[in-house]
Amino acid sequence: MEVLDKYSSLIKPKLINNIEAYMVFDKPAHKPNAEAKIYVLLNNHGSRRDIHYKIVSIDRNREVFSKRINVDEKKFLIETISIETPDKPGRFCYKLFIDNEQIDNTCFLVGDPSSREQMYFTIVWHHHQAPNYLPDGRIHGPWAYIYVWSDLLKPYGKGPYHYHSVMLNIHPHFKATYNLSPSLLRQWQIAVEKGVEFVNGEKYDPNHEKIRLVEETLNNYREALFKGQIDVLTSIYAHTIGGFLTDVLGATNIVEEEIRYGKEVTSKIMGNNYNPQGIWTPEMAFSMKLIPIYYDLDIKYTVLDDKFHFFHAEGNKDSQYEPYMVIDTESKKYITVFFRDHDLSDILGFRNNFYSEPHAWRNAYEFALRVAEKWFDKNVKVLTIALDGENWMSFSVNPPLTAYFLDKMIIYLETLSDNKFIKLSTLREIYNKVPANRILTNIPTNSWLGTFRKWRGEVPQHEEYWIKTYSVYRKLLAYEEMIGGRDEFSNEARWALWHALDSDYWWAEFWLPKIIDTWLSVAENILNNRINKIQIIDVRPASEFYEDEKAGLVVTIRNQLEKEIRVSFAIGGTGFSSVNNDLETVKMNPNSSYTRIIPVKAKFIGKHKMVVSAISKGLIIDSKIIDINVKPKLLPNPR
C-alpha cells in the first residue's frame, strides 16, 4: 500500500495498485436500531481492473460485506451498503480491505439524542483583509477582490469569499458565524459604489461583471444575516494585534477608536440598522485591557483560544466548552468569552491538503465524526471552532478540493443537527440562550499562537520598525497634548497609523515594510508639518552668570499654528539646572510669540553649551543651543 504523506490531512491518501479507496458512512452519528449506509469510495488512478473489496466489523470481528467489482480506467465509483446500527450507544468501527489488504478503517457513533441536552455548535469564519490600498486609493494587494472573483476553486466555485456565500444559499439550514472584517467590508463597498483601481493600472467600474460579483457576495452575506442564518462579528478596523498594542505600546486609545470605527463600518455596510454584538479579536491577541474598551462600546462577546487562553486563565474554571464571563476586577466591566477548540480548529485550518475528491470526502467525514464525539461528553455545552475563512482554502496545496470538502462537511454537520446531536447555531444565538454561569478574573495576554514573535521577533527588522512606529505614535500624543486634544490633522495621522499597524503587514512570512513605511510617512509628515510651526527663535542670558547664583535666561518661542498651545521648557547642559527643578510650562495664543525669563543656576565656571528645549509629553518640539560663560563668584570683603 502506498501512503502519500506529503498531503497534510487527518486521513492520508492511500493507494493499492493505483486504487485509492476509503470508507465513510452517511452520518457520523445514528440513533439505535436505525439504518445506516456505508459508502465505499473507489478511485482508479490506473488502467481498468478487477478488484475485490470487503468490509469487516471490528467490534463483532466478522465480515459484513464482500464484493468483486470491475473499475474502469480513471474512474471514481461509489458503492453503497446498508447496515443496521446496534441497539446500544457507543463507537462502532469497520475495516475496508482491497484485495485482502486493509486500506481504511472508519467508525460511526450510536446514541440517543434525548439522553442529554443538545450540544450547541458554531464555526466562526474569520474573513479578513488588511486595508490594502495606498493613500491615493489605489489597491496594492488585490486579495479582497481576488478571493471573490478568481477561479481559485474551479470547477466547484469562484474565490473563497464568494464560495462561502454560495454555500449559505445551497445549505439554508446551515448556521455559522462570520467575521467580515471592517477593512474587507469597506474595500467591497468602495468597489461597489465607485469601482476599483489597482497599482498595475487595472480598473473596473461598478458595472463590470467582477464588481457585480463582489456586490452579489456582499448581498449574500446580508441576506444570510437578516434571516438569522449567520451572525456577523465586527472587529478592529485594520486587522491589528490589540492586546499587543495595549500592553507594549500603551496604545489603548488607538485600539478603542479603531474598534469604534470598525463597528460603525460593520453596521453601515451590513445595513438595516444592524448592531453587531460580537467582536473578533484579531489574531486572538487578547489583553485584559481590552475588556473596558469592549464593554464601553457595547460589545457583548468574543472568541479566544482554549489552549493559550483558557488553560492559563484564573477564576472559577470548569470545562472550556461553555461561555465564561470575564471581569476586569479594577473597572468591574466584563465580556462573555467563548473558547474555541484549538485542535479541531487547526485541523480545518492546516490539515486541508487533499489528493482527490474521495480523499476530501473521507476527511470531511472524519472531521464531522470528531465533532460528533464531543456529544458523548455531557460537559460540552458549546463547541466553538474558529479559523480564517479564506486562508485555509487558498493556502491548501489543492484549493479546489477544499471547496468540495466544505460542501461535504456541511452536509455531515446538517445530519448531526437533523438528528439533534448538535444544534447548529450562531454565536449571537448561543450568547442569548446559554448563560455564562462562571467567572474568570484574569486571562494572560497572549495570541492564538501562544506568542507575539510572529509579529515582533521572527524578522530581524521587526524591532527597528516597532521602535519607528512607537516614535510616530509618541509624536502624535505629544502633538495632541500640545494643542489640548485632537484636531483634523491628528485624526488624519491616526488614520494613517491604523494602516501601518495592520498585523498582516508585520506577519513574518508576509512582512511588508514598504507598506508600513508608506503609512508611517504619511502620519509623520502630517505631524512634522504641524510641530515644526513651533520654534524657539531666541535664547539669551538676562544678566551675567556666576557660579552657584541664580541667573535669568530669556527664551522667546513662536507659535505659527492657528490654535492655542501649551509647551514646557527644559534646560540642559553640564552644571545647569532650573531653579524650580520642574519643567517651565507656557500657554500661547494662536499665531503669537511669547517671551519668558527662566531662572537658572550654574554650578561650574567657564564656557558652557546650554540647551533649551520646548517639550510636549516627552517629545522635544524644538531646541536651541547657546554659549554661556559662567564667571567665578568672589567672596565679599571681610570688612
Dihedral of the alpha carbons of 234, 238, 239, 243, in degrees to the nearest 10: -90
pLDDT at 477: 98
Is the predicted pLDDT of residue 584 greater than 80, yes or no?
Answer: no
Fold identical between 15-110 and 534-631? yes
Alpha helices in 374-512 (DSSP H): 391-394, 399-418, 427-433, 462-483, 488-500, 503-506
User: Which of these, 87, 86, 54, lies nearest to 69 by C-alpha position?
Assistant: 54
Instruction: Assess contact for 427 and 338: CB atoms under 8 A.
Output: yes
pLDDT of residue 574: 84
pLDDT at residue number 57: 96
Distances (CA, A) of 599 to 542, 556, 571: 9, 14, 10
pLDDT for the residue numbered 212: 98
Q: What is the pLDDT of residues 550-578, one digit of tens each?
A: 999 999 999 999 999 999 998 888 877 77
Question: How much is the average pLDDT of 498-522?
Answer: 98
Question: Architecture of 534-631 per CATH?
Answer: Sandwich (2.60)
pLDDT of 581 higher than 60: no
The reported pLDDT for the residue numbered 579 is 67
**15-110: which CATH number, 3.30.70.3420, 2.60.40.10, 3.40.605.10, 2.60.40.1930?**
2.60.40.1930
Percent pLDDT > 90 in the chain is 93
Which string of b and e fits 188-222 if b means at least 16 CB within 10 Å? bbbbbeeebbbeeeeebeeeeebbebbbbbbebbb
Burial of 398 (0-12, 13-18, 19+ CB in 10 A): middle
Dihedrals phi, psi of 503, to nearest 5 degrees = -65, -25
Average model confidence (pLDDT) for the chain? 96
Q: Is the pLDDT of residue 583 over 90?
A: no
Bridge partners (DSSP) of residue 94 are 57, 106
What letter represents residue 621's amino acid?
I
User: At 61, phi and psi to the nearest 5?
Assistant: 55, 50
pLDDT of res. 80: 97
Closest Cα partner for 589 from 637, 638, 632, 534?
Answer: 534
C-alpha span between 55 and 67 (Å, rounded): 9
Query: Which residue is associated with the grid cell 494662536?
Result: 590
In single-letter form, the type of residue at position 33 comes to: N
Domain map of the chain by residue range?
15-110, 119-442, 454-532, 534-631
The predicted structure's pLDDT at residue 60: 84
pLDDT at 378: 93
The pLDDT tens digits of the residues spanning 446-482 come to 999 999 999 999 999 999 999 999 999 999 999 999 9
Kindly list the strands in the beta sheet with 2-3, ordered across the sheet, starting from the edge strand earlier in the chain. Answer: 2-3, 14-16, 19-25, 35-44, 76-84
At the topology level, CATH places domain 119-442 in 7-stranded beta/alpha barrel (3.20.110)
Specify the 3-state DSSP secondary structure of 324: strand
pTM attached to this predicted model: 0.94
Q: For residue 615, is pLDDT > 60?
A: yes
pLDDT of residue 529: 98
pLDDT score at 580: 66
Quick: pLDDT tens for 201-243: 999 999 999 999 999 999 999 999 999 999 999 999 999 999 9
Over residues 6-12, the mean pLDDT reads 93
pLDDT per position as a tens digit, 233-246: 999 999 999 999 99
Residue 397, pLDDT score: 96
pLDDT tens-digit map of 513-533: 999 999 999 999 999 999 999
Helix 462-483 / helix 488-500 crossing angle, nearest 10 deg: 170
Helices 357-373, 342-350: inter-axial angle, 10-degree rounding: 170
Most confident of 46-50, 107-111, 571-575: 107-111
Q: CA 69 to CA 65: how far, in whole Å?
A: 13
Judge whether residue 5 has pLDDT over 90: no
| DSSP letters spanning 455-485 | TTTSSTTHHHHHHHHHHHHHHHHHHHHHHTS
Measured in whole angstroms, the distance separating CA 632 from the mean position of its chain's CA atoms is 66
C-alpha separations of 321 from 78, 137, 306, 381 in Å: 37, 44, 9, 6
| pLDDT tens, residue by residue, 386-439 | 999 999 999 999 999 999 999 999 999 999 999 999 999 999 999 999 999 999
Residue 362 host element (H or E): helix 357-373
Integer Cα distance of 503 and 518 in angstroms: 15
Whether the pLDDT of residue 582 is over 90: the answer is no
